[in-house]
Amino acid sequence: MLPLDGLLVADFSRVLAGPLATQLLGDWGARVIKVEEPERGDETRRWGPPFVGDVSAYFLSINRNKESVTLDLKSDEGAEAARRLIARADVVVDNFLPAQKESLRFAPRTINPRVIHCTIAGFDSDTDDADTPGYDLLAQAGSGLMSITGEAGGEPMKIGVALADVLTAHYAFGAICAALRGREQTGEGAALEISLFSAAIASLVNVAQNVLVTGKEAGRYGNSHPSIVPYQVFHASDRSFAIGAGTDRHFAQLCERVLRLPELARDKRFITNSQRVRNRGVLVAILEEEFRKRTAAQWVRRCRRASVPVSLVRGVREALRASAARAIVETVRHAGIGAYDAVRNPVRIDGQRRAIGSPPPSLGEHTAAVLEELGITVASTKRSAARSTPPSRRRARR
C-alpha cells in the first residue's frame, strides 16, 4: 500500500509544473489519467533533442505512473467524457488560461463538489496579469530570481533548470495533499490555485524577507552568500569545490584542522560570522591563495575529517555517477523504446525507496480502456485516439 492508493487524479495539465505535480501524486500511489489533445498531445513530447527513440527525454522526466487518454474537449463527445472522468475523480489538475476555461466551460467543482481542483497558472487570478500565459523564464525574470543569480558584476542569470515550474509543482503537490486531508474531516472539496509567479516570489525566502526588512534592493553574489562567510565556491589547484562554513565552529575547524592556520580563526576581523561578512573581501582572498596550493580532492578529504561541510563542484553527468546518486537512479523498461535510466522520487518511507513504477505512456495509449470504464463506446471516438493497453492496477471507481 502506498499513501495515495485508491485516489483518482484527472490531469488536464501539460508542459512542466502540472505534470510534475501529478507525477508526484502518482509516485505515492494515485492513479493519474493524463488527458491530452488528440494527435498533438503534451507539448513536451516534442521538446528535444535529446530523444530516446521517438520520445523526448523531457517528457520522460515528468510523466511516469500515468495513463494517457486523448480527448477533443471542444467536441460534445470529448466534453462528455471529461465530465464523466471529473465526476469520479478525487483530484483535478489543470493549467488552462481563464479564457480557455470559459470557452470549454471547465468547472470541475460544479460537476463534483467533493473534488480537489488545483489550477496552475502563470499569475494569480486576482491580479491584472491573470490572462497572461506563464513560462518559467518569465517567472524567474519577473520575480527577481534572475536578478540575484549570476556574478556580482555580470548580467542577471536564469537558473539552469526551470526552477519556478519545479517549485510550483511542489507547492501544488503539498496543497493537494493538505486539501485531501481536509476533505477527510469535512467531506468537502476545495479549489486551489498556485501561480509560477507567486511560487517564485515565495521561494525567495530570506532574500525577500531581507528586502522587506531593509527596503533595499537585493544584491547578486554569484557563488557566495549574502549573509554567511565563507559559504561559496573556491578554486583548488585543479578544479572548483564548495565550502559551507555556516557556523563559527565550522570556521574555526576550517582554519585549525584543514588549513592549519589557527591564527586565522583568532583574527578579530574574522572571529564571528558578522565580522567575516564585513571583511569578506580580505578573508576570501586569503582563503583562495591557500586553497590553490592543493587539489580539490585533498581539500575535500581534509574538510570531511574535520567535519567541515564541503563538496566538489560536479557536472550533472559526474553527479549522476557519484555514489550518493546510485540509489535514486533506476533502469526503466518501456515497451516502445526499450530500457533507459531515470531518476526516481528521492523520498524514503520507513527506509524504503519507492520504485519508479510504470514508464510514461504513449499518446492515447489508454483511451479505449478508460472510455470503456466511463461507459462510453470506443466506436464513438476517433480510431487514432483509441489505441490501448490493459488498464492500470487501479481502475476508476464506479
- Of residues 11, 94, 136, 165, which has the active-site annotation? 165
DSSP secondary-structure letter at 366? Answer: B
Cis peptide before 230 (omega within 30 of 0): yes
Cβ neighbours around 287 below 10 Å, total: 21
SS3 of the chain: helix, strand, coil, percent, to 5? 40, 15, 40
Cell numbers for 206? 530570506
- Distance, in Å, from the CA atom of 207 to the CA atom of 213, rounded to the nearest integer, reads 10
Cβ neighbours around 151 below 10 Å, total: 12
To 10 degrees, what angle do helices 136-143 and 163-186 make? 90
Active site residue 165: yes
Cα torsion angle, 131, 133, 136, 142, sign: negative
- Of 228, 226, 265, 264, the C-alpha closest to 243 is 228
Cβ neighbours around 194 below 10 Å, total: 26
Residue type, 388: S
Cβ neighbours around 259 below 10 Å, total: 21
**Residues identified as active-site:** 165
